[in-house]
Structure 1
Amino acid sequence: MREHENRDKKPNLVFLIADDHRFDGIGAYGNQVIQTPVLDSLAAEGVRFTSIYTMGGQTAALCVPSRACLLTGTNVFQATITEKEVKLGETENQQLWAINPALPTWPEVYRREGYRTYGIGKWHNGKESFARSFADGANIFFGGMGDHIGLPIHEYDPTGKYPADHAVPSEKFSTELFAETAIDFIQNYKEEEPFVLYVAFTAPHDPRTPPQAYLDLYTRDHIPLPDNFMAEHPFDNGEMHVRDEKLASIPRRSEEIRQHLAEYYSMITQMDEQIGRIVQALNQTNQREQTLIVYTADHGIALGQHGLMGKQSLYDHSIHIPLIMQGPGIPQGVVASGLGCQMDIFPTLCELTETSLPQTVEGKSMIGMISGERSESRKSVFAAYKNVQRMVSDGRWKLIRYFRRDEVGTNRTQLFDLSDDPWETHDLAEDSAKQDQLQRLEQELLAWQQSVQDPILHEREKRG
């Protein structure tokens, strides 16, 4: 291709998303134990967003709603739910497991704009939405979790049906399999149009069983416990008996949590190395300079923090995620500290690549934070978990509201000053000097619930 044609061509997009990778599980985010040299390098060469949050969801399988928000750029109640009447707590309701068919996904938008869209790895949002999002793909896993060797893998089906009996068990570890599939695509891509390469890892989700060489990098006794490690959560948060909470003994034992962290870090380090191979393939095919690389995660996870193991809470360890962007249009070494929401990624990508943005998108572009034109894209972020928890944070002050229902949970409110208490261990809700902050956040939260038609308000109205 001639040089002027290269300049005029829109950039490629390599979008990498992990499962359960919380914001502080990367060296560049301040973790001094974990080894993530590739992600650290991408952060140094691009922009690292420090305050990006998910919006939770109405199902314990939080990867479903979080990915739906990311893919559609809409709020958690709009992204997956297509009917107003929702019986809260019915987590197996199928309308909670698929993307709202009225909403275009961002890969679908890029496909319409002339990009070659290629999907690899985990897709937990229904086969219909995958079919309309991607023109091609390989080694696709429709599901939430499974053993990293032996996952039921589909090849791309042009009909979009993907019958279950057509899946074949994978023979390689999932992280390596998905990375090698991406490398094959990059090395063999000869088309004129730009591409979107969507790579969804199942790591570092459990079962955390990385190859021994990566486990050997982390000795359990040398893994520090987080400052907010607790033997048990101090009260019933409404979701104390979900599957994730049964992955370690109760009360939590420090040596067991250290082992979980060692395995978690091992999975991330293996994934980091495989991402490095993808970046190397871009370099070897002379496509790196015209490729935007994005790394993020669907949500975080507790692993001993607050006495919890899973992601079914609204503490930062569960809803605060990493986001790194590097490539054309991205300045080097930028740390964007303003608040952002997962649904803001969609409009940000579109602005970076000069791609048309659908009117359905609610998210706000974060380009201003990248360029330095403004310090933030939004004043507050919000989140919900099932019918038992709601959250609002302005970046410093954070409120979590808990609801007791059907003999489960606790009616109470927590208030944290994240500037002094980033580990969320000092509840200020009963502090008389902080009542103005509490009341202000309560009003913000209620206004947000009303604006997004939070189903919990609808049910309370029905109950009178």
Structure 2
Amino acid sequence: MNINSSICNLKFGLFFHLLFLSCSNRDEVKGQIPNVLFIAIDDMLPVLGCYGNSTALTPNIDTLANQGILFMNAYCQVGLSNPSRASLMTGMRPDEIKVWTLKPHFREEKPNVVTLPQFYKEKGYATRAVGKIYHDGAYHQDPVSWSNPSVLSVTRDGRGHKYVLPENYMPKRSKATTTENANVQDTAYIDGKVCQAAIELLNQLTDSTFFLAVGFRRPHLPFSAPKKYWDLYEREMFKKELKNPRRPARAPDFAFHNSNELRGYEDIGELGVIREEKQLELLHGYFASVSYIDAQIGKLIAELKRLGRYDNTIIVLYSDNGFHLGDFGLWGKTTNYEASVNIPLIFCGKGIEQGAINRSMVELIDIYPTLIDLTHGEMKSSHDGISLLPILKGKSSKVKSYALSQIVRPYQDAINSRSPDSMGYSLRTEKYRYIEWRNTKNMSVFARELYRMDDALSEKENIASDIKNEALMNQFSDIVNRIRK
């Protein structure tokens, strides 16, 4: 062999050696930096097996909870989709971004804010979205958050979004019946389509570190789900789920509503008590929808495992807000009470404690700094949440003692207004729920509520008028003033 051949062989050997090292280093880096699977659910109460509900059939979410940490006392910032999602995705409280209703986009007030997925995109992640992550409607989308255009994030009232049966589906009518039970495949409805699209994306991202956001629209009204999920339950099972329609004693009337969201459907009257038979149907439809979503999550997790990405993926599952299922005579969200603002929250993944249940107060706004800490260990000071990392690592049982939610009044302002007349701030602690109502023009307090919550799953009696609670309420009011913006 001559010297030129030797040099040539040496060059080829060095090239392949460097190529091998480059691939090895890239694989090592890819193995070190976790992916994020971000699962958003619409209007889901913590009526899940893992939360102790004996009626719900939710084996996939239950399994996820057993492999991570379940937060029993997690709360949204607003019991309404647009402000809740805007707050979570920006890491800022509603008063900071001035989003309290269905109307504004958070970039009207904060045009340069870096959203959670945008942070990951700037770190080199492939950030992709399928389904409802921001509020519905083209105006509310945020293209700068994503590496590629989002998929199924904006839907019309077309076939498969809310209904598939001819008697319910009409091109110009979005609110037909409150429930639909159709003998169809999962992909006939929007959430089956979302799951299928998310699985396809996972297969496209096999060579990428990803932040994949998947947003499911059920169990939001209407309660539409394939027949096989209805068949999991007998109607009579839901008699034990019927709630007491009595409002808390001495609670102000304006704090409630007329179940307006539900009464917009053709099978519900504008006024009057909803018959027990219809309530049982609604409960059946809600739980069938929950099981339908659970099945889609199961398919998604199974594909993540099949692709070998599960062990290096941080999974967070949450709902944007809760939902009154007949308690206080209410159906829907948009209150400051437990059923409207208490939500499921589960973290699962590498380095996270497994099979743990945490009962401390946490908020959706805490997701932003927590994910950043889990994946990058850095956090910008402009965000309002507190990282839950000490809890996830088993180093602490709590990072805060309160959760702050809020809602506007009158009710119609939540739907139509950019500048509501009044605002109710609700501070949830281990033992109490304190609510103060303020005039938004001068922020003066015109009404207060106080409920004991340490032995109750819902509010029972407003004890704000008891003079002995004055000092405690003033302490709570000081906390509200300090943290609301």
Moved more, 215-224 or 321-330: 215-224
Q: Which residue is 1:102 aligned to?
A: 112
Q: Deviations over 1:249-305 (max 9, x none)?
A: 532333322221110110110111111111111111111111111110100010201
Q: CA deviation at 1:395?
A: 1.8
- Secondary structure at the aligned position of 2:119 is classed as helix
Distance 1:13 1:96, change over 3 A: closer
Q: CA deviation at 1:187?
A: 2.1
Q: Which residue is 1:45 aligned to?
A: 67
Alignment partner of 1:78 is 2:96: yes
- Secondary structure at the aligned position of 1:111 is classed as helix
Distance 1:350 1:151, change over 3 A: same
- Secondary structure at the aligned position of 2:317 is classed as strand
d(CA) in 2 for partners of 1:344 and 1:231?
Answer: 33
Q: CA deviation at 1:401?
A: 3.2
From 193, 196, 215, give the equivalent of 2:211.
Answer: 196
Q: Which residue is 1:310 aligned to?
A: 332
Task: Give the 5 Å matches for 1:136-285.
Answer: 136-142=148-154, 146=157, 149-150=160-161, 172-191=188-207, 193-226=208-241, 228-230=243-245, 236-238=253-255, 240-241=257-258, 243-246=260-263, 248=268, 250-285=272-307
Q: Which residue is 2:457 aligned to?
A: 422
Bigger CA radius of gyration: 2
Distance 1:252 1:100, change over 3 A: farther
One-letter amino acid of the structure 2 residue matched with residue 101 of structure 1: P
Q: Which residue is 2:10 aligned to?
A: none
Moved more, 268-277 or 99-108: 99-108
Q: Which residue is 1:350 aligned to?
A: 372
d(CA) in 2 for partners of 1:95 and 1:424?
Answer: 32
One-letter amino acid of the structure 2 residue matched with residue 178 of structure 1: V
* Identical residues among aligned pairs (%): 25
Contact 2:242 2:326 in 1 (8 A): no
Q: Which residue is 1:16 aligned to?
A: 39
Q: CA deviation at 1:441?
A: 3.1
Q: CA deviation at 1:355?
A: 5.2
Distance 1:79 1:103, change over 3 A: same
Contact 1:297 1:322 in 2 (8 A): yes
Distance 1:80 1:114, change over 3 A: farther
Q: Which residue is 1:84 aligned to?
A: none
Q: TM-score, normalised by structure 2?
A: 0.78
Contact 1:228 1:425 in 2 (8 A): no
Alignment partner of 1:298 is 2:320: yes
Q: CA deviation at 1:411?
A: 6.3
d(CA) in 2 for partners of 1:96 and 1:238?
Answer: 26
Give me the CA root mean square deviation.
3.1
d(CA) in 2 for partners of 1:344 and 1:316?
Answer: 19
Distance 1:283 1:119, change over 3 A: same
Distance 1:50 1:185, change over 3 A: same
- Secondary structure at the aligned position of 2:323 is classed as coil
Alignment partner of 1:288 is 2:299: no
Contact 1:80 1:97 in 2 (8 A): no
Contact 1:15 1:293 in 2 (8 A): yes
Q: Which residue is 2:436 aligned to?
A: 401
Q: CA deviation at 1:65?
A: 0.6
One-letter amino acid of the structure 1 residue matched with residue 306 of structure 2: Q
Q: Which residue is 1:67 aligned to?
A: 85
Contact 1:26 1:35 in 2 (8 A): yes
Q: CA deviation at 1:98?
A: 6.5
Contact 2:230 2:288 in 1 (8 A): yes
Q: TM-score, normalised by structure 1?
A: 0.81
Q: Deviations over 1:138-195 (max 9, x none)?
A: 533237x95671479xxxxxxxxxxxxxxxxx9831110111111111123232x410
d(CA) in 1 for partners of 2:96 and 2:463?
Answer: 32
Q: Which residue is 1:30 aligned to?
A: 52
Contact 1:54 1:319 in 2 (8 A): yes
Alignment partner of 1:449 is 2:472: no
Distance 1:295 1:55, change over 3 A: same
Q: CA deviation at 1:239?
A: 5.1
One-letter amino acid of the structure 1 residue matched with residue 113 of structure 2: L
Unaligned 5+ runs, structure 1: 82-87, 153-169, 454-464
Q: Which residue is 1:157 aligned to?
A: none
d(CA) in 1 for partners of 2:63 and 2:317?
Answer: 12
Distance 1:366 1:119, change over 3 A: same
Q: Which residue is 2:176 aligned to?
A: none
Q: Which residue is 1:389 aligned to?
A: 424
Distance 1:440 1:425, change over 3 A: same
Distance 1:451 1:16, change over 3 A: closer
Q: CA deviation at 1:96?
A: 6.8
Q: Deviations over 1:47-68 (max 9, x none)?
A: 11111111217xxxx1001001
Distance 1:431 1:220, change over 3 A: farther
Moved more, 326-335 or 215-224: 215-224
Q: CA deviation at 1:336?
A: 1.7
